[in-house]
Chain A
Amino acid sequence: MTPPQDATPKPPKYPANLETSMILPKQRASPASSLASLPYRRSNPSLQKLFESTASISGSRPSSGTATPTAPPSTIPSSLFSPGSRYNGAGTPGSLPPGVSDEHRTLIQRAFAPHVAVLADTETEELIRAKGFEGGLLQLLRPFGESVPGKVTIRDSVGASKSYEDFGVRFVGVNEGLGLPPMPGRDSTSGQKEGGRASSSSIRPRRLGGDVPQVEELVDRHLQYSEFNSQDMVADYLNQGEPQPQESTTSPFYTLYLRRLLSGLPLVPHETFAHPVAGIIAISSRNANPIEELRRLYSRQHDGDLRFPQWVENDYLRYYVLVHDEETGDIAKSNQTFDSMKRHFGLHCHLLRLKSQQCIPSDDDSVRLPTCEWMSASEELAEIQKRETSDDITDPTPYLPDSDITAIRTFIRELVAQSIVPNMERAVSTWNEQILARRRGISGRFMSLSKRWTGFGGSRTSSSSSSTSNSNYDSLQGFYRPDAPEALMRKLADYCFMLRDYKLGLSTYDILRADFQTDKAWRHYAGAAEMAALSALLSPGPLTSKTRTDTVNTLIQDASYSYTDRQRSAAPYYALRTLALGLELLRLRGSSAADDAARWASRILETGLVGPIGAALFTQRIAACYVVRPGVGTLRVGSRRRKAAFWAVLAAETWWKMERALQADRCLELATSLYGSRGEDGELVGLPSQDMQAFVDALRQQIMGLRLANRGFVEGGDALGDGDGEDGVGDTGVDEKRLVVEDEALETLDTSPRQHRKSLIGVPAPAVDVGPLSPRVDRKTQDGEVKDDHFEGA
C-alpha cells in the first residue's frame, strides 16, 4: 500500500520556480483543498478521535455495545464490516440475500426510539457541571440511554413477549426539538441548560435534526477528513471489505448519512415519535425542600413556561429522580427524602448516587464518556468546529468514575424496563381497546362511512374550506388536539412502532390514512402512509407476493407525494426520509424488491431532495441495490449486474467531480469488477465496448491524478514542486504516467482475452479511442508481467 511516488525521489522545490508559483493558485482554487488545507493538516488528536469514533460508529454498530459498555470508543476495533451487526437476525424478514447485512434495518429500528424529556433543578445542574459536564444532566445521561444495558422484553398486543438487545431511549431537553429555535427571552428562565452550550462555538448546536443541508455538510467534513489525512483509516475500510465483497458496496459514509438523517427527529404535530413518552424530573439532595421543588418543576412543565406546545399530549409519565451527592451528601437524609418521594409519587422514583468530584483521565477507574451515537448533524458540526478552532490538543470529553457509570446504567435500565416500557404497553392496550376496537367495529365503520360521505359532499361544494363540522382536524393550525381520537390513534400506532409491534402499527396506520384523507390533513396523511409502508416492510412476515409489494410502493409514492407536492408547505426532509428508508428496507427484501429500491433511489435523485453529497451517495446506493439482485439459474436471468456496473460508473464520475478521489476509486473498482467478471470461464474480461473502456480508462486516470494531488497535500506538499508543471493535475508527473500505463495494461492486455476482444483490438479503431485521452501511453512496451503492479489493488 505504499504510494509509489515515495520510491522516486522528488526534485527539490525551488521557491523561484515560476511554474510552481503558477500552479499554486490553481490548486488553491479548488474549494475542497482550500477548505481542507487549513484545519486538517494540523494534527489535532482530539479532532481525530472525534472523526474516528464517529466513523467507527457509522459502520455497523459494534456488537460490544452492551458487553463491554465501559470501553472508550477510541478503542473500539475498526471492524466496520464485522458480522456482529447481525445479532438481530431474529427479526429478519425471510432470508436475506447472501452477503447482505441488515445493518440498516437495525439502524432504522433504533432510530425510532421513545423520547424522554429531562428536567433538573439548579442544584443538580450545578453538581453535574462541577463534574465537567457543561450540558448538565442531559449530557450525562444521553449517551447511556442510546442502548439500554441488557435485554428489554416487550410484550406486544397479542401477548407474545420478545426481547431486544438494542432497545434504547433518547433523552431530550424540555425545550428542544421544537421546529423553531427556542425564544431568546426564555433562556433566562430555562437558562440552566443553555448557558454552558451557547458560549462554545459559532454554530448554535441544536439537538434537532431534520436539516438535510447540515447532514450533507457533516458527511462532507467526514469525507474530507478521510480524503486528506487518514490513509490508514481508509485502508482499513478497504481491507476489511475484502472478506465480504458484496457488502463492501455499503459505504460507511452512507450509513453516517442515514444515521444523521434520523438523528434528532423534530417535534412536529403530524408524528409523535419526538413527543415525550416520559419526563424525568431530577432534584439534588442538596436541595433544602425537595418535595416542593419537585412540585414546582412539575407544574412548570405541566402548564408553566416549560410546557410543550399544545398539540403535544401533556400527561405523559413523570419519573422523579433524586440525585445524591456521594461525597458531601448524607445518605441517611437522602434515603429519608427518597422515602417521602416514594410516598408522594409512587413507584416511578429513583435514587441516583453520583460522585461530585471531577474525574480526570489519569484516575484509576476513570472511563471516558461514550460518544453520542445519535447526535444531530448540527451538534456534531459544532463539535468538530469547536475542536478545530481550539488550540487545546487534549480531549475535552469528560471522564467519569466507574461507579457513576454503573449507577447510571442501573438507573436507565430500571427507568426503561420497569417504567417506560410497561407504561407504553399499557397505553397501547388501553387505546387498542377503547379507541381502535370501537373504530374497527360495525358502528365505527358506519361512523367513518357517514363521515366520509359528508366530507365528500363538503368537498364538492367548497374545496377551500376543508374543515367539516364533525372533523377533529384544525385545518388552520394544522393539527389534531391531543385528546382527539385521531391523535390518540396516531400515538398508539407510533408506540407500536417504537415497541416494534409492526403488525398492530400497520393496521392502525391504515385506518388513520383513511381518516386523514377524509380530513384532507395531507401532512398527517403522508406521515401515516410513510409509517404504514415502513411497518409493512419491517414486519417479520414474508412480503413476497406481488400485491403486497405494490401496496408498499403505492404507500411510499403517496407519502412522498403528499409530503412535497400536495400541500403548500413542502416537507422535503420527510419525503427524503420516506424514500431513503423505504429503499433500504426494500433492498433487504431482495430480488424484485431491489428493483423498486433502485427506483426510489433514482426518484430521490430526480426530485432533487438531496444536495451534491447525497446525490453521490444515493447514486452509489443504486448500484448497491442492483448488486443484491442475483440472477436465476445458470444464465443468471434477471440479474442486474450491468445496471449495477453502470450506476457504479456514474457514482465514480460524480465523486470525481466533487474531488473525492477515494470514494470515486472505490466505485470504479466496483464497476470494473462487475463489468469484468462476466466471462463464463471465470476469467477477467475487459469492458464490452471500446467506448466504454476508453471512458473508464480516462476516468481512472483522472481519479488517479486527483488522488495523488490530494495525497501531495498531505505529505508536506512536495508534490507541488515537481517542476514539469504541465497542468493542474499533471504536476504529479512521471509517477502518474507510469501508474496509468500499468493500469491500462491490466485492463486491456488480459492474459487470455476472449476471441471477440482480439478481433476488436484488431480493427483499426483502437488508436483513435485511447490516443487522444492518454497520449503518453504506449501499450506496445507492456507485457502481461506488469499485472502484479496494479496500483495498490484499490
Chain B
Amino acid sequence: MSYYFTIFSPTDTPLFTHEFGTSRSGGDGVPHFTTAERSMAPFVLHSALDMVEEVQWGPSTSSGSAPMYLKHIDKYANNFVSCWVTGANVRFLLLTRPRDEALGLGGSGNNRGSLAGGRTGMTGGGGLYNPSAPATEEAVKNFFVEVYEAWVKTVMNPFFHAGNGDVVKSPVFKARVAAAAKKYL
C-alpha cells in the first residue's frame, strides 16, 4: 500500500507533502506508485478539495460540533482520499493506493493466504480494501491525530504563517509525520 499525504492551506496551496508506503504487513515503508499514479496524485488530492468543502460546509451528519476527521471522502480509480480539517481550515489529505491484490485486481488470488497478503486487519474483511472499514478509519484517524499534534506545535511558531502559504520546511515536523505513518499505517 502506498500513501501520499498533503497539507493544504486554506487557499489550496500545498504546504507539506510526504509520500510513504505502509510499514505493516511486512511493508518497507517505501511508496510503490507507478509513474502515472505518482504524477496524478497531486491532481487527485487537489480535486478532492471540492468534496472536502462539500462535506465540511454541508449538512452535519454528527450531532453537536463538527468533526475534524471527515473520514473517507473521495475516490478516483484506485485511489482513496481521507481528510482531516483543522480549526484554521487547513486540510490534511491522505491518498491511499492499496495494493492490487487488496483491490481484487492482479492475479494473485493464491497469494492471499500468505503472510504478506493475509493481514486483513487494515484492509477490512474479505481481503478487499474497504476505505470505510472501522479498522482502516481508526488507523487513519490515529495518524491524523498525531500529525495534527505536530502541526499545532508548528503553527504556534510565531514566524510561521500558514495562512500566507508558508511551506513547512521543518525537518522535525517531517520526522514526526514519518513516525506517525510508520506507527499507524
Contacts and interface: CB of A to CB of B under 8 A. Distances in A.
Of A635, A757, A760, which is in contact with the most chain B CB atoms at under 10 Å from its CB?
A760
Given A695-B39, A756-B164, A760-B167, A689 B50 contact: no
Contact of A637 (B43, B44, B53): B53
A703 interface: no
B118 to A, nearest CB: 28
A647 to B, nearest CB: 8
Nearest to B56: A637
A472 B89 CA distance: 62
B42 interface: yes
B39 A691 contact: yes
Contacts of B46: 642, 646, 688-689, 692
A219 interface: no
Contacts, number: 69
B31 interface: no
A756 B13 contact: yes
Interface string A682-698: 00000011011001000
A756 B12 CA distance: 11
Contacts of A635: 53, 57
Interface in A628-653: 635, 637-643, 645-647, 649-650
Nearest to A685: B11
A691 B50 contact: no
B42 A759 contact: no
Contacts of A639: 50
Contacts of B169: 763
A297 B167 CA distance: 83
A6 B42 CA distance: 38
Contact of A756 (B54, B58, B165): B165
Interface residues of A, number: 26
A318 interface: no
Interface string A81-93: 0000000000000
B166 A759 contact: yes
B131 interface: no
Contacts of B57: 635, 637-638
A635 B39 CA distance: 29
B49 to A, nearest CB: 5
Interface of B: 9, 11-14, 17, 39-40, 42-44, 46-47, 49-51, 53-54, 57-58, 76, 164-167, 169
22 contacts: A638-B54, A641-B50, A643-B50, A646-B43, A646-B44, A646-B46, A678-B12, A688-B46, A691-B17, A691-B39, A691-B42, A695-B43, A754-B11, A754-B165, A755-B164, A755-B165, A756-B13, A757-B13, A757-B165, A759-B167, A760-B13, A760-B167
Given A642-B12, A678-B12, 15 more contacts: A635-B57, A637-B57, A638-B54, A643-B47, A643-B50, A643-B51, A692-B46, A695-B42, A695-B43, A754-B11, A756-B13, A759-B164, A760-B165, A760-B167, A763-B169
A-B pairs with the 4 shortest C-beta distances?
A756-B165, A646-B47, A691-B42, A643-B47
Interface of A: 635, 637-643, 645-647, 649-650, 678, 688-689, 691-692, 695, 754-757, 759-760, 763
